[in-house]
């Protein structure tokens, strides 16, 4: 009789481990954030707003009932003159890294701007998708989340995009 509690605990732990094996996709009800950084004003503003709008539309299709919630947060990468600035791009990347729910970052259309944000995001293991439409980028993010490890959707997206 003295061994029965120990056996029950061992069985419960074993059952929990087996139940967790093979899971994919984000945990049910998870709230995940994707940051979009692009100029939202000036000459490149319309393109930036389009990326943001497309990303939000695609995020709205993700998850479904009982699935995960994907939220798109758009950040303006433009400075006072209406063009992206290195300072603003760096600040946007740091904002994304400070949010524990961040799973991806849709970077600026400009390669030079992405060179500024890339090391900041890589250090935090946040995938950066740049040079794509908002729809294309979000489709990649959603696929990586749905197919990846539910215990770490950020890592699943990072591995799928960067790997």
* Mean local confidence (pLDDT), 38-59: 93
Tell me whether residue 127 is in a domain.
yes
Separation in Å, CA 107 to CA 14, 32, 43, 47, 157: 43, 17, 17, 12, 15
Rounded CA gap, 122 and 44, in Å? 26
* Overall number of domains in the chain: 1
CATH at 152: 3.40.50.2300
> In terms of pLDDT, which residue wins out, 151 or 22?
151
Is 13 inside a domain boundary?
Answer: no
Written as six digits, the tokens of 147 are: 């197919």
Q: pLDDT tens for residues 54-82?
A: 999 999 887 665 578 899 999 999 988 88
Whole domain around residue 151: which residue ranges?
Answer: 24-162
Q: Look at phi and psi of residue 29 and say left if phi exceeds 0, alpha if psi is from -120 to 50, else beta.
A: left
Q: Does residue 128 form part of some domain?
A: yes
Is 19 a residue whose pLDDT tops 70? no
The span from the CA of 107 to the CA of 137, in Å, is 10
With vertex at residue 157, the alpha carbon angle to CA 132 and CA 129, rounded to the nearest 5 degrees, is 20
The percentage of residues in the chain with a pLDDT greater than 70, rounded to a whole number, is 79
Residue 66's pLDDT is 58
29: confidence class by pLDDT, cuts 50, 70, 90: low
Q: b/e map of 41-59 (b: 16 or more CB within 10 Å)?
A: bbebbeebbebbebbbebb
- List Cβ neighbours of 125 (8 Å cut-off, separation of 6 or more): 154, 155, 158
């Amino acid at each position: 009789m003295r061994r029965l509690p120990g056996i029950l605990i061992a069985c419960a732990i074993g059952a929990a481990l087996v139940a967790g094996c093979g899971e994919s996709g984000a945990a049910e009800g998870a709230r995940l954030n994707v940051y979009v950084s692009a100029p939202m004003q000036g000459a490149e503003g319309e393109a930036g707003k389009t990326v943001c709008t497309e990303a939000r539309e695609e995020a709205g299709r993700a998850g479904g009932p009982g699935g995960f919630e994907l939220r798109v947060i758009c950040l303006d990468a433009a400075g006072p003159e209406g063009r992206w600035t290195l300072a603003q791009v760096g600040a946007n990347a740091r904002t994304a890294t400070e949010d524990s729910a961040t799973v991806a970052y849709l970077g600026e259309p400009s390669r030079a701007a992405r060179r500024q944000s890339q090391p900041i995001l890589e250090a935090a293991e946040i995938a950066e998708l740049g040079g794509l439409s908002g729809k294309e980028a979000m489709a990649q993010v959603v696929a990586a989340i749905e197919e990846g490890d539910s215990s770490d959707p950020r890592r699943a997206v990072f591995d799928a995009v960067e790997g």
